[in-house]
Amino acid sequence: MNRHLGDDSFSKLLHTSYADLCKEKPLQPVCNQTPPRLQEEALFCGCSFSFDVYDLSLSNLNPTERIVLDKRIDRESYIIFNTFSESLKKVFSPVMSSSIVPMVIGKGAYDFAPLINSLSRILELEINSSIVQDIRQMQGIEMPAYYKKYKPDHHDLKITIGTKEIDLNCENDGKLKPMMIGESLMMMRYYKKHLAKTLKVEENVINQHLKQLEVLRDYRNKASHSNVITEKEFVDFYNMFCNLMRQGLLTIWANDKERLCRYNM
């Protein structure tokens, strides 16, 4: 057993081949396995599930790999993962090109931006629940009392990175306003030495993740505005996102979430 809420499946199954996993009973969400303490606090999803990876160059959409994800992702992330999977299989897959048919924007005349936006929202949710809260704590916001919460009467908590001023305690209708992923990544790069220590990873690991996340951010920005996203652009984004899942990014961030939520408890 490790400290991942008593669950050691992630470390064992992360690199298990899809064929081997298929020999076993498929993983199903089991939300009632969350320890009572965390269940009461409603902090984490608490569901064991897998993220099926597809080779999008093939004519048939069959999983080629199954990545078991850390059960400590946010509940909202779990819902978005499900929505993405169904959208990919039922809406976009029937009109996607195969390895035989060239990828052309005119085929099906579909905009793949919704798929990019779904996976980007997961990254935005998870980094707000971990890295952003870590930096808020470093700047004097008490954890877990104000974990993902606005701290009243603590208005002047802004940091300046280059020419950008970032508010770590921005209030929106009485709640903490989530940070956009661009600002989160800017802070992640600026405080990477601190984060390497609290996340218990080498600084070069954070650099590698940042390099990939910043590319995904650019795709996300394009998808969120008036651009039509081509199939090729989505495939490039999807392959990089899957690579981050293989590297266990969500578990590294989940470790930080658990530390913050148990701080001084």
Per-residue pLDDT tens digits for 191-222: 999 999 999 999 999 999 999 999 999 999 99
**C-alpha–C-alpha distance, residues 144 and 149, integer Å:** 9
Ramachandran bin of 46, using left for φ above 0, alpha for ψ from -120 to 50, beta for the remaining angles: left
Per-residue pLDDT tens digits for 22-76: 444 433 333 333 333 333 344 566 666 788 888 887 777 788 898 888 889 999 9
Per-residue pLDDT tens digits for 117-149: 999 999 999 999 999 999 999 999 999 999 999
**Is the CA virtual torsion 244, 92, 73, 117 positive or negative?**
positive
For the chain, give the mean pLDDT.
80
CA angle, residues 154, 122, 146, in degrees to nearest 5: 20
pTM of this prediction exceeds 0.85: no
| Cα distances (Å, whole numbers) of residue 78 to 100, 174, 219 | 34, 26, 22
Given a cut of 50, whether residue 99 has pLDDT beyond it is no
CA angle, residues 240, 242, 246, in degrees to nearest 5: 115
Given a cut of 50, whether residue 8 has pLDDT beyond it is no
